[in-house]
Amino acid sequence: MLEQWYTGVVTKIVNETYNTRRFWIHIPEKEAFHFKAGQFVTLDLPIHEKKNKRWRSYSIASHPNGSSDIELVIVLLDGGAGTTYIFNEIKEGSELILRGPLGNFILPETMDRDIFLICTGTGIAPFRSMAKFLHKNQIAHPNIHLIYGSRYEKDILYKDEMRALAAEMPGFHYHPTLSREDSPDWTGHRGYVHNVYEDLLSDRRPAHFFLCGWKVMIDEAKQRIQAMGYDRHDIHLELYG
């Protein structure tokens, strides 16, 4: 059965970085828009005659809270028909056609070992949803390591929020790493995400891996994690682009 399409109304737009925006969408047809942390919605944008060329999927960045509002975080892609339309045409009060929730990129039912959430760019969206859901509902969990890769400090999404969450949520560890930042003011990790999880897992303890972001990062992470001795079934992915 195909999921139903709904009409959402954009209630708020905030520029998160120079090329990334947060969109809050209210779905008036639903008293509550129920989803699991990590799932996504598909938008039907008026950018092509063919249906499947109009569809763009985005992870829900907000956590399930029983309301009929969700948040998406979207980066403007050079030459991307979907994001160009969204950035140029969508204003507060605009309508968006969407369906969902979709996807099986969700936390394991049994959280019996450390969880590594590894992402780049807007790939942080499902992990923000997961972390906030666990925290708000006081759900017991193992150590969770959010490893977030960006080029520069100005690119980091939800930086202050994630730092605050790491300070108040026991067992939640935030590891941003920057591949091109040359400012001496940056005292955090430098380089790519791979070095960070390899260092953290030098003891090869049991772990679940969740990867979200661009294909190049995910392909390399899959290869490196398996080279460390982990089983491919320990690795869960959500591909962007």
pLDDT digits (tens, 9 = 90+) for 153-207: 999 999 999 999 999 999 999 999 999 999 999 999 999 999 999 999 999 999 9
Q: How far apart are CA 139 and CA 24, in angstroms?
A: 26
State the average pLDDT for the chain.
96
Extract the tokens encoding 81: 């028909």
* C-beta separation of 39 from 105 below 8 A: yes
Indicate the DSSP class of residue 2: P
The pLDDT of residue 1 is 53
Alpha-carbon Rg for the chain, nearest whole angstrom, is 18
The pLDDT of residue 52 is 87
In this prediction, residue 33 has a pLDDT band, given cuts at 50, 70 and 90, of very high
Percentage helix, strand, coil for the chain under 3-state DSSP, each rounded to 5: 25, 35, 40
Residue ranges and CATH numbers for the domains of the chain are 5-102 (2.40.30.10), 114-240 (3.40.50.80)
Q: How far apart are CA 18 and CA 1, in angstroms?
A: 40
Average confidence (pLDDT) over 34-48: 97
Predicted TM-score (pTM) of this structure: 0.96
Could you tell me whether strands 114-120 and 207-214 are parallel, antiparallel, or unpaired per DSSP bridges? parallel
pLDDT at 3 over 80: no
* C-beta separation of 10 from 25 below 8 A: yes
Average confidence (pLDDT) over 94-122: 96
pLDDT at 27 over 70: yes
Average confidence (pLDDT) over 13-24: 97
